[in-house]
Structure 1
Amino acid sequence: MNIEKHRFRGPWSLWFIGILFLFLYAYGVYDFVMMLGHNVEYYSSNNYGDEVFEYFTDYPVLTLMLWIINIVSGVIAPILLLFRSRWAVMMALISAISILILQFITFAFMNRWNVFGPWVSLFDIAIMLMTFGLFVYCKAMAKRDVLI
Structure 2
Amino acid sequence: MNRLGQPKTPWHLWVIGVVSLLWNAGGAASYTMTELGMLEGMEMPPEQLKYFYSFPAWAVAFWALGVWGCLFGSIALLFRSKWAVTLYGISIVGLIGTTVYQRLFSDFPESMDTAGQTLFAVAIWVITIGLFLYSSRMKRAGVLR
TM-score by length of 2: 0.87
Check whether the contact 2:34–2:53 (CA below 8 A) recurs between aligned residues: no
Letter of the structure 2 residue corresponding to residue 93 of structure 1: G
Q: Are 1:77 and 2:73 counterparts? A: yes
Q: 1:62 aligns with which of 10, 35, 58?
A: 58
More helix by share: 1
Supply the distance in 2 between the matched residues of 1:65 and 1:115 (Cα, whole angstroms). 25
User: Aligned residues, how many?
Assistant: 143
Contact 2:77 2:135 in 1 (8 A): yes
Q: CA deviation at 1:110?
A: 1.0
- Alpha-carbon deviation of 1:39? 2.4
% identical equivalent positions:
29
How far apart, CA to CA, are the structure 1 residues paired with 2:31 and 2:125? 16
Deviations 1:84-106 (A, max 9, x none): 11111000111112112211221
Equivalent residue, structure 1, for 2:125: 128
Counterpart CA distance in 1 for 2:65 and 2:103 is: 18
Alpha-carbon distance in 1 for matches of 2:19, 2:33: 21
1:77–1:92 Cα contact (<8 Å) kept: yes
- Correspondence for 2:105: 109
**Distance in 2 separating the partners of 1:129 and 1:13:** 18
What secondary structure is seen at the aligned counterpart in 1 of 2:55? coil
CA deviations 1:44-91 (Å, max 9, x no partner) are 1xxx31111110233200110001111111111011111111111000
> Which AA in structure 1 matches 2:18?
I
Q: Structure 1: any 5+ residue segments left out of the alignment? A: none
Residue in 2 that maps onto 1:142: 139
Q: Distance in 2 between matches of 1:139 and 1:124?
A: 23
After TM superposition, where is structure 1 displaced by more than 4 Å over at least 4 residues in a row? 3-6
Q: Give the whole-Å Cα distance in 2 for the aligned partners of 1:124 and 1:113.
A: 15
Q: 1:105 and 1:65 mapped to 2: Cα distance?
A: 11
Separation in 1 of the partners of 2:64 and 2:56? 12
AA partner of residue 126 (structure 2)? L
Answer with 105-114 or 72-81: which moved more. 105-114
d(CA) in 2 for partners of 1:50, 1:113: 10
Query: For residues 65 and 119 of structure 2, what CA distance do their matches in structure 1 show?
Result: 21
Q: In 1, are the aligned partners of 2:70 and 2:88 still within 8 Å (CA)?
A: yes
Aligned equivalent of 2:15: 16
